[in-house]
Amino acid sequence: MNILVVSADASKSVRTVALNWKRGVLAVFAALALFVLCSMAFNYVVLKWAAATEHPWLQKIVLADQRAEASRAQEKLQGHLSAMAVRLGELQAQTERLDALSTRLAKGAGLTAKEIPVTGAGQGGAESPLPAQPFSAAELGTLIDDLTQNITVQSDRLNVLGGMLVENSVNRRFLPSLQPVDGSWRSSGYGYRVDPFTGMRAFHEGVDFSALAGTPVVAAASGKVINAETHSQYGKLVEIDHGNGLVTRYAHNAELLVNKGDLVVRGQAIATVGSTGRSTGAHLHFEVRLNGVAQNPARFLKTIGESPLS
């Protein structure tokens, strides 16, 4: 395409401008660039004028844009808060679980809630010379995640300890640690003594508890009755197998309250105090045997005077 440029002065020559496609494209881009620059300049001038004159219509446009941005920020913040609320709910559940475990462990240890020692987590220190900075939502989320993990680990450890405590408590029930006669006193201990019948030095394989005739005799631990009969020297005798080779004997009873094969629990009445067999008066002869060998009952009866009902 050729464009003829004719001057108003006819004496001057006519100029010819050739317009090809490359020049057309450059012209279009130049026009667009000029339009964009003009638009930006117009918007800048209008906004400056609106800010200076506080025009209501333009202020509404600006406020609408600010409200939209604030709404998006609020939605984002609400999402973070919801996630943190979920984490806090998990922490609360974990804390309640730890409280339940602590109560169970305390009961297993024989403590009441008031007897559990509690120490406050005191904190302090000099004020930092650096300016304080608030935590970001991401930082708080990380702290909550770490705390959740620590609580989970502690909970698992308490569960293991609780299982061990329960197992230990069960085992204790099968150890002859309960005094078999309440409110009695020892009239003869374990070991060598003067035999009351011969006056000679003889080994006494148990402990004698002096008590009034008819006083209840209770099982020192849970177990199975393996013997309930009258013996020529022990008189009316009860033997209880507690497992692991441990057997207890209760001799010279006036009356037997259990039979061979019965299962008894710790503190259950199994006989009454008497003076049957080789005896000089009302008392209970109590023996503890391990794999058939007599043991000192004091090794098991650590709390002499413990009530049979405890």
pLDDT in tens, the chain (310 residues): 555 555 556 555 556 655 566 666 777 778 788 888 887 877 777 666 666 666 566 666 666 667 777 777 777 776 666 677 677 667 767 777 777 767 766 666 665 555 555 544 555 667 767 777 676 767 777 777 777 777 777 766 666 666 555 555 556 678 898 999 987 778 888 999 888 888 888 999 999 999 999 999 999 999 999 999 999 999 999 999 998 889 999 999 999 999 999 999 999 999 999 999 999 999 999 999 988 999 999 888 864 444 333 3
Per-residue confidence (pLDDT) for residue 211, from 0 to 100: 92
Q: Are 113 and 103 in contact (CB under 8 A)?
A: yes
Pairing of strands 283-290, 246-256: antiparallel
CA 240 – CA 232 distance, rounded (Å): 19
Per-residue confidence (pLDDT) for residue 147, from 0 to 100: 76
Per-residue confidence (pLDDT) for residue 196, from 0 to 100: 85
- Beta-bridge partner residues of 237: 229
CA 279 – CA 141 distance, rounded (Å): 77
Q: Are 150 and 89 in contact (CB under 8 A)?
A: no
Per-residue confidence (pLDDT) for residue 256, from 0 to 100: 97
Per-residue confidence (pLDDT) for residue 218, from 0 to 100: 96
Backbone angles phi, psi at 108, to 5 degrees: -65, -30
Per-residue confidence (pLDDT) for residue 74, from 0 to 100: 73
Amino acid letter, residue 259: N
Burial of 257 (0-12, 13-18, 19+ CB in 10 A): middle
Per-residue confidence (pLDDT) for residue 141, from 0 to 100: 74
Per-residue confidence (pLDDT) for residue 235, from 0 to 100: 96
Q: 233 CB contacts (<8 Å, ≥6 apart)?
A: 277, 278
**Which helix H or strand E contains 192, and what residues bound it?**
strand 191-194
Alpha helices in the chain (DSSP H): 21-53, 56-108, 137-173
Per-residue confidence (pLDDT) for residue 306, from 0 to 100: 41
